[in-house]
Amino acid sequence: MQHEKISSWAWLSLFLLTIFHPPAQGTAETMRQMFPAYALMENIDLVNSSRCRAEMEEFRNGVDNKILWSLRVLDSNGMPSSGFVNGNNFWIGDRQNCKLLSENHTLLFSEDVRKNNSIYRNPKEEFPPFKVHFFAARIRHNSTLQYHTEVMMNENLITLGFCLPASCTNHDIATMLEKVLNERKLLIGELFSANFEIIEITDLVDDHQWLFSAKIIFIVGFLVLFCGLVAVATVYDVLIHKKRTKNKKEIFNFENNNTNSKPRDTSADELKNEIEEKCETDQEDSVSPKSKSPSNVMEYVLCFSFVTNTRQIFKAEESADNVRIFHSMKVLGNLWIILCHIIFYTTHITANKTIAYALSDTLAAQILANGTLSVDTYFFISGFLLTYIFFKGQSKDKKVPSLPVRIKQYIELFVKRYIRLTPAYFVVILLAIFYFTWKDQTSIILPVERVNVVCSKYWWTNMLYINNLYHWNDISSFITSLNFTDYFRHCNTAVSLGVVTLFSSLGSILYFSYTLNFVPTLDKQYSTLTDLYIRPWVRIVPYLVGMAISYLLIKWNYKLHLSKKSLIVGWALSILCNCSILFGLTDKNIPFSLSIIYSTLSRTGWSLGIAWLVVACCTNHGGIICKFLSSDFFVPLSRLTYCAYLVNPFVILGICASRSFPDYIDYYNIAAFFLTVSVISYIIAFLISVTTEVPFIKLLRLYNNRQKRMK
Ligand SMILES: *[C@@H]1O[C@H](CO)[C@@H](O)[C@H](O)[C@H]1NC(C)=O
Ligand SMILES: *[C@@H]1O[C@H](CO)[C@@H](O)[C@H](O)[C@H]1NC(C)=O
Ligand SMILES: *[C@@H]1O[C@H](CO)[C@@H](O)[C@H](O)[C@H]1NC(C)=O
Ligand SMILES: *[C@@H]1O[C@H](CO)[C@@H](O)[C@H](O)[C@H]1NC(C)=O
């Protein structure tokens, strides 16, 4: 009886097999056209390795017979997805699922659900009988039907994911894929008249070999030593130094606290985290480190104490300054820059590129599209603060130094500024090389440029600030403005020089806008970036406005009598001005003459609007807006501005490099990503600032004091 039952089952299954296997010719044809992985399996004869061939064969038979595991594997393979015309070149498949399959990972359910599930799924057929592995193929297509934004590189690079037997090599897959692509078997190629060319096949395996290159060993060694230094300094500070200082305090109870061994910032100038050292020559003599500090070496080491430096960052601003609002302006400006960087540095993982481009015509997106205005705000702040500090220091020594002395001062200031900015930058670049060397092995979506390669190659240009527009601009305007402040001594010269620079700058923008046929579409803005955005001389106007406003405020002694009417007019004008500049280009289809006027005057107008805000706040006409902008909350964050500015592009690229799926741009996605990136950036900025930025400021100060004492 038993025997008969079995044999009838055998007959039935044989019968079924003849029906379903081989599958109807039409089905196989469709499968081949839709699933690149299935099309690959038709070319297994090209493969030399018998194991790979056998496993591929088994996989194909499984798919033809609809065996569960093979369908699951096929389902993890990438295939052309919708949105090709709008730039979706991500046929990535499901890398995570492929990994779960290779690990025989079962989903844990409660007993009764599992029992019910087993009615539909045979648990024995859930996993492939061989190890599977995820491969990524990078392919270039030449379809002209796809819309390109012209704003980014590699817009025709397709990433195709494969979940295939681990016994197959990259070369095997490349051979099979080449045949598939050459024979134009894929439907999508037919449909959009695309030809394909394989760039590379990678297996995205992290074999940890990258850890053993000289570069990485150097970086790790350096960072470990550096952390060691910080640790030693912190332990010394907490265990030994603190006690000693406490004792001293008890003894000299009546003495001024400032005689503590550690130099303290005393003046309000401390606000200018960013440009601190400009005022240092004027400020230092207020500090009198006459303590009998432990030893010279330990004094230097103490600069690296984590605890003290943390306190330094979170220390409340001591004086109620009338330029407090710059703290918040720096923080908000930096957040704005992060927001724009998010759009700029995620284009390579954006699947709906054309849609994102179309969104740039909406009102809200203008805040993103015109993000460069935030940099102009920075220039304004820099110009303002430089002048402010210059005049604060000037009261102390009236005499005009001779030319050689002045040149020496410039060089000194320049070197100090370099030392002030570079260590943090250096550490950030080392971290970036380390992280992206690792991610480069494993990240499925290629970044626009390979950060570790670029950084390793060009780190020295970074160190010299040759290639970075922000710093280069900053430094060059810094030099220029040093000259200006010098001329402030002779007021008329300064004013006429400023006016000449202003008009020549505006003139050059006008000239380039005209000759380059500037229209404010995104692609044109991008292609004219060098001439209309990067060059220092086209960006100097906000700087000049900042300096002028600062000068005026000092002249008025921060007091200005304004009637209610003029206040209202002032606010209305500035809001109108800045809003029209910010949102004026929602419709980018404007006449040529108008777009030239816009490109010439927008940055000037923007800085004038900011100027009103600053004037109103500094002269106590700001009301609730200025109260908010001057709140204490912004002070520590503003001290982290420089580091946060440095790290945020790497944070964005780092998150992108870890993702297994492309991104789709919409407002909620951007908002969520913005929050994540801001928080992570400021946390990392805090760590870097406390361990490198603050210590080197302190070292500079210590050095200055030493020099003063020696005189
Ligand atoms: C399992 O299936 C039975 C019958 O099909 C149904 O009554 C029961 O609710 C199912 N249990 C669960 C946990 O889904
Ligand atoms: C996973 O399961 C399959 C079939 O059930 C088996 O052949 C294979 O050896 C298992 N692999 C691992 C890593 O356990
Ligand atoms: C198979 O072997 C031939 C001859 O040795 C070689 O030319 C070919 O590249 C090999 N194919 C693969 C996929 O390794
Ligand atoms: C794409 O490439 C193929 C083969 O190289 C070529 O024949 C075809 O003309 C190209 N198409 C376009 C639009 O350039």
pLDDT in tens, 622-667: 788 888 888 888 989 999 998 998 899 899 999 998 888 898 888 8
Closest atom of ligand 3 to 174 CA is 13
Per residue in 267-306, pLDDT tens?
333 334 433 333 333 333 333 344 445 567 788 888 888 9
* Atom of ligand 3 minimally distant from the CA of 48: 1
Query: What order do you get walking across the sheet with 132-141 strand by strand?
Result: 90-91, 157-165, 132-141, 196-202
Counting ligand 3 atoms within 8 A of each CB, the residue from 44, 48, 201 with the most, and so the one to mutate, is 48
Q: What whole-number distance in Å separates Cα of residue 87 and Cα of residue 93?
A: 17
33-47, 485-499, 681-695, range with the lowest pLDDT: 485-499
Q: Does residue 56's CB lie within 6 angstroms of at least one atom of ligand 3?
A: no
Instruction: Give the distance between the most distant pair of CA atoms in the chain.
Output: 119
Burial class (CB in 10 A: 0-12, 13-18, 19+), 686: buried
Residue of 103, 126, 127, 131 to test ligand 2 pocket, by largest number of atoms within 8 Å of CB: 127
CA distance 228 to 416: 25
How far does residue 124's CA lie from ligand 2's centre (Å)?
9
The distance of Cα 337 from the centroid of its chain, to the nearest Å, equals 9
pTM of the predicted model as reported, rounded to 2 decimal places:
0.83
pLDDT greater at residue 336 or residue 356? 336
Instruction: Tell me which residue has its CA closest to atom 14 in ligand 4.
Output: 142
Q: Is 425 in the pocket of ligand 2 (CB under 6 A)?
A: no
**48 Cα: distance to centroid of ligand 3 (angstroms):** 6
CB atoms within 10 A of CB 660: 16
Nearest CA to ligand 4 atom 2: 195
Placement of tokens 């370099």 in the chain: 418
Where do the structural domains in the chain lie, given as residue ranges? 14-205, 219-267+288-310
| Residue 459 vs residues 196, 432, 435, 454: alpha-carbon distances, Å | 35, 11, 15, 8
Report DSSP state, residue 513.
H
606 close to ligand 2 (CB < 6 Angstrom):
no
Q: Could you tell me the pLDDT band of residue 515, with boundaries at 50, 70 and 90?
A: confident
Indicate if ligand 2 lies below 6 Å from the C-beta of 122: no
Under 8 Å between Cβ of 52 and 172: yes
pLDDT at 164: 94
| Ligand 3 within 6 A of CB of 173 | no
Q: Please indicate whether residue 640, judged by its CB atom, sits closer than 6 Å to ligand 3.
A: no
Q: Does the C-beta of 171 come closer than 6 Å to ligand 3? A: yes
Average pLDDT over every residue of 254-263: 34
Contact 32, 38 (CB under 8 A): yes
Task: Look at residue 709 in the predicted model and tell me its pLDDT.
Answer: 77
Residue 128 CA to ligand 1 center (angstroms) comes to 28
Q: For residue 123, report the distance from its CA to the centre of ligand 2, in Å.
A: 12
Distance of CA 238 to the CA centre of its chain: 35
Report residues whose beta carbon is within 6 angstroms of any ligand 1 atom.
112-113, 116
Among 709, 710, 705, 711, smallest CA distance to 281 is for 705
Tokens 């089905």, residue located: 27
Report whether pLDDT(710) > 80: no
Report which listed range, 62-66, 206-210, 360-364, is most confident: 62-66
Expressed in angstroms and rounded, the spacing between residue 167 Cα and the centre of ligand 3 is 15
Compute the distance between CA of residue 473 and CA of residue 543 in angstroms, rounded to an integer.
11
- For 142-158, the pLDDT digits (tens) are 999 999 887 777 888 99
pLDDT at 469: 44
Residue 46 CA, ligand 4 centroid: distance in Å: 26
DSSP per position, 104-140: TPPPP--HHHHHHHHHHS-GGGSS-SS-EEEEEEEEE
Whether the link from the prior residue into 123 is cis, omega within 30° of 0, is no
Q: Phi and psi at residue 148, in whole multiples of 5°?
A: -115, 145
Q: What are phi and psi of 347, to 5 degrees?
A: -60, -30
Ligand nearest to the CA of 184: 4
Q: Is the CB of 123 under 6 A from ligand 2?
A: no
Cα(116) to centroid(ligand 1), Å? 6
d(CA 107, CA 114): 9
Residue 488 has pLDDT above 70, yes or no: no
If pLDDT is split at 50, 70 and 90, which confidence band does 263 have? Answer: very low
Q: Pairing state of beta strands 132-141 and 90-91? A: unpaired
**Residue 207 C-alpha to ligand 3 middle, in angstroms?**
25
Using the mean position of ligand 2's atoms as its centre, give its distance from the Cα of residue 100 in Å: 12
- From the CA of 115, give the closest atom in ligand 1: 1
Q: Which residues line ligand 4 (CB under 6 A)?
A: 142, 144, 195
Q: Is 142 in the pocket of ligand 3 (CB under 6 A)?
A: no
Query: Residues 361-367: what's their mean pLDDT?
Result: 86
CB atoms within 10 A of CB 384: 28
CA–CA distance, 140 with 161 (Å, rounded to integer): 14
Kindly state the percentage of the chain with pLDDT values over 70: 80
Say what the pLDDT of residue 274 is.
38
Question: Strand locations in 142-281, DSSP E?
Answer: 157-165, 196-202
Q: CB-based contacts of 630: which residues, under 8 Å, 6+ apart?
A: 324, 325, 327, 328, 617
| Least confident interval from 16-20, 48-52, 397-401 | 16-20
Task: Report which bound ligand comes closest to the CA of 176.
Answer: 3
